[in-house]
Amino acid sequence: MTRSIDIERLADILREAAKVEIMPRFRNLSDVDIREKTSATDLVTEADEAAERFIARECRALAPGALFVGEESVAADPHLLGRLDDADLAIVVDPIDGTANFAAGLPLFAVMAAVVAKGETVGGIIYDPLGDDFMMAEKGGGAFRKTPLGETHPLKVAKPVALADAVGCVSATHFPADQKAALLPRLGTVKIFGNYRCAGHEYRLLASGGAHFSLYSKLMPWDHLAGCLLVAEAGGQVAKADGSSYTPRDRGGSLIAACDSRHWQDVRDGLLPV
């Protein structure tokens, strides 16, 4: 039980939303079902909105007093995001993380939820609808993968390596132009780097030992709260690039998640301009 919210029940809600609202629409969207929000790469689909409505309804039944903050709800009412800062209990949801992939028919998207209690992330879930499995964490309780058959396996980040041998995920889209120009040549010092256009799967990869770091240039709570808790509970290090702790109140700056504190510092020193 995560501060009065049953995380297993919350996971069931995400799974049911995917079954009812998301997967029937995968590779089955018409042009009118896909719209731009702020740009051609910032999309919303009918599946995003329907899934969020489903999750919101079920979450209000699960935890009637909790604040519900969804990506699409905030798009409709930006003031909602500010209420997260003072909420005693909140559920933060990304109904489809990786909407651009989903809209293009690419099988790389996730459903994410985080539980926030008095400004602290205490629970996180990243669900893969295609694999029908969860990665979940509770504050102080470790992180684990739950299979479609209900079996659980603990998650553990990779052992640290030199930056030249590291595998990482980098999202530099929202860095200022000068910072991006300084960063891009430095990425050549990393063995492998990529961008899934889906933070949920990048965090899953990191928490399960398949990558050594992730670097992000935009901080929205539905993109990062669940994944950051997952990585931390799997033994990793997560902090903003200035070294400060990442919290649900943070909206600006950049974020590094890494397999341990030493590797975090190597990423900070090796990739980001001083």
Closest CA to 7 of 80, 59, 73: 59
133-138/120-128 β-pairing: antiparallel
Closest CA to 145 of 264, 233, 41, 57: 233
Structure tokens at 240: 């903003």
The CA distance from 230 to 126, in Å, is 9
The CA distance from 182 to 273, in Å, is 6
Ligand-binding annotation for 125, yes or no, is no
Ligand-binding annotation for 6, yes or no, is no
Ligand-binding annotation for 77, yes or no, is no
The CA distance from 141 to 2, in Å, is 10
164 near 186, Cβ under 8 Å?
no
Ligand-binding annotation for 96, yes or no, is yes
Ligand-binding annotation for 94, yes or no, is yes
Which residues contribute to the annotated binding site? 71, 94, 96-97, 223
Which residues contribute to the annotated binding site for Mg(2+)? 71, 94, 96-97, 223
